[in-house]
Each structure stands twice: as C-alpha cells, then as structure tokens.
Homo-oligomer: A and B are copies of this chain.
Amino acid sequence: MSHVVELLAVGTELLLGNTANIDAQMLSRELSALGLNVYYHSVVGDNPERLRRAVELARSRADVLITTGGLGPTCDDLTKRVVAETFGKVLVYHPECAQAIRDYFAASGRVMTENNLQQAWLPEGCAVLENRWGTAPGCAFQSGENYVVMLPGPPRECLPMFRQEAAPWLGRLSEGVIRSHTLRVFGWGESQVESLLRDRMDQLTNPTLAPYAKEGEMELRITAKAQDEETAKALIAPVEEEVRVVLGPMIYGGQEDSLEKVVLEGLKARGLTLGTAESCTGGLLAKRLTDLPGASSVFRGGVVSYTNEVKHRVLGVSQTLLDEQGAVCDEVARAMAQGARRVLSCDAAVATTGVAGPDSDEWGNPVGLVYVALAAPEGCWVRKLRLAGARERRDRVRTLAANHGFDMIRRWLAGLEIETL
C-alpha cells in the first residue's frame, strides 16, 4: 500500500501572511526523496476547534500526518494537546526532556521561565524526537493505521529534526524513492516546448515529464519513482536523452545551474576573461556575474553607459553614429561591445542597448526593443530582440535582455550558432 502524507502547519502568523510556510516546502522535498506521497498541505491558526477538525480530516484522508508549529510555550503547546486528544492519548511527563530544556537554557546563558517545562509533556508511548536546535522536543507515534509526527515550527529547528530524528522513524513506511532530474532551457517559451513534447508528456507515467516556466526561461523536470536510486536513474536516462534530441542546444544546464553560472564555468575552464558594457540592463549583467563567488577570476569589469556621453567618452562609440542613429541600434551595440573589450582588456565583451521602459525613447523606439552584442576575437554578433508588449514590465525586459547576453556567451563558448535562437 502506498502511503499518503498530509502536512498540517499550525500558526496564525501563517494565516496573516507574516511568514511563509517554508516548512511545508522543505518537508515536501524531503518526503518525496523518501518515496512518500504528499497529497495535502494545510494551515490553520492557533484555534483549538479548527485545529481539531483539521486533525480529524487529515486522519481520514491521509495515513501519515506531520504537523509543524504550535509546540512551544508561547502557544500553550496547542498542537500536542489537540493531537493527543484526537488520537485518544494522554500526555506524560518526560523528565529527560525537562532536563534537556533546562540544559539548553543554561548553555545559552538565558533564564528559563517555568512555562518552558510544559514542553516535556508528550503523548503516551511516543518516540521522542530530540531538539538540539531549540527547546520544544518533537514526537512521533503510531495509532492504528495512522502515523503521526509533530515538529516545531521554526524552519531552523524543523528541518534538522526531520532529517535527523523523524526521517529514520518514517523509514519503515518508505517504499522506494522518487528522484527528479531537471533540465534548464533557454530560448523558447513554455507553450512552444510543450507543443513539441506534449505527446510524450501525456504518454509518460513513470517517469513523468513536466515543464515549469521561470522568469525568462524554463525548466523541464523528469521525475521517476522506483525501488531504489539506481532504478530511478535508469528510468530517467532514456527520457532525458529523448528530450535532449528534441531541444538540442536549447538545454543549457541542470537543476543547480543558471545561465551566468554556466558562462562563468565555461570561461574559467577555457581561461578566458569577460567584460560588460550595459545601457538598458544598467549593471544587471555585472551584478549577476558577481553574485557568484569566484567571479573575479574571469570577470574584469564593466561599464554602465547610461548616457550617450559615457558611451562615447568611456567606450569610444562614435559621436556621429550616436547623433545620427541614436543609441538603440545594431551598430551602437557592436561598438559598445568592441569598446568594452578594448577598454577592459578582456577576451570577450557583451553589450546591451535598448528601451527598458516604461516609455519609448526620444527616437520613437518601442519599449522592449533591445540589441545585445557579443564581441570576441573571432568576430562580433548581435541579437535584435523585440520584448515589447504592454505587459512586458521594465524588470522583465531587463532580465530577458541579460539572459540573452549570457546565452550568447554560452553559445560562443560551446561553439554553437550565436545570433539565432
């Protein structure tokens, strides 16, 4: 039988939007990796009656209930009391837990108020989940066909307790593993990729193949369920191969990659240096590159030439060209990239010039018209982008323009066509 998990978070602060339900995301990932199916997330506030009904509902529709939050002294241990009552268990005092709580306060040099000791009362017959990251112990018990785990709310206590204490306890329920493999794609929209892969997405059941739209790019995720890691990988491999054949160089990396990371690693591997000349992206390319540790080994610097004067004076773009054609054209993009290569003494330089919005420029160029140029020893390439549309926001135009800049460098490094998508 396949187990069904429900995650129930308790906390009015979640319902007020003061905090996000990070626990649910983290635990879902961990549980999937254990091969357990999470079918429901739910959240209720610090209200005994609504919590009781939520626990009863979870008991009826899932056989594994994992609660987060409502364990500490500030909430009167609401979750523990209500869950124990619903499953017909009394709370029992655990002197060793009380000692651990006293020790925790002593070690951190804080005064312990007596209400903290109520955390040492736990449902009869439960396994105690030790809390080495805070004060409230967690617990786990079986009741008939139901398995119940209670974890503290703060993510920095919840996650390590799950991994080190709860996951081994849940190990008995695990049937095989779920593994995902992600491919990152740049250059086509979600619906275009889908129309190419729709049939396969519909046919596949294990592994499954699913697209996810991200800002200016997309992901394809292949997810397999199997008895063990190796079988899961063997299920994923042929589907990955198939997708790679269809999408080819559109695929630029995996789960942990980003366009800038692939660029940085490619430059490092080949011992090449990079510079930037940015108009409409205003420093975004440089910022994204230098977000990454180790950028200094390949990134020499950049010029944010937000005025024509800076384009001319610092990058050496011809004043006549700027006067006659304006800053947003193919030739200026080229001259900026070539100027940056020279001024910054780097192997390759990427440049952007365009209209990020919200208004068109004084030459009448529409929002979203962007030229992205790459200058390298072998030559200079330009992409003309029309990212326009009333709904393309300024930040999206900038993000997409920067993505195209990174994509051009990546393609240059990989020996692929650069100007085309």
Contact = CB atoms under 8 A, between A and B. Distances in A.
A108 interface: yes
A105 to B, nearest CB: 9
A93 interface: no
Copies of this protein in the assembly total 2
A64 to B, nearest CB: 13
B276 A304 contact: yes
A287 B280 CA distance: 10
A291 interface: yes
A106 to B, nearest CB: 8
B28 A194 contact: no
Interface string A7-33: 001001111111111101111111110
Contacts of A21: 20-21, 24-25, 41
B314 A307 contact: no
Interface string A263-290: 0000000000000101001111111011
The bracket for how many chain A residues form the interface is: 35 or more
Interface in A352-379: 356-359, 368
Contacts of A282: 286-287, 289-291, 295, 299
27 contacts: A9-B41, A15-B39, A17-B25, A17-B27, A17-B30, A18-B29, A18-B180, A41-B41, A41-B42, A104-B391, A107-B388, A108-B389, A109-B386, A109-B388, A111-B192, A113-B194, A113-B195, A133-B391, A283-B283, A286-B286, A293-B357, A293-B358, A299-B306, A301-B305, A301-B307, A302-B304, A303-B304
The 7 residue pairs across chains A and B that have the minimum distance between CB atoms = A282-B290, A107-B389, A283-B286, A17-B28, A17-B29, A283-B283, A41-B43
Interface of A: 9, 12-22, 24-32, 38-45, 47, 50, 53-54, 57, 61, 73-74, 104, 107-113, 115-116, 132-134, 154, 156, 180, 189-192, 194-195, 198, 210-213, 215, 221, 223, 276, 278, 281-287, 289-291, 293, 295-296, 299-307, 309-310, 313-314, 343-345, 356-359, 368, 386-395, 398
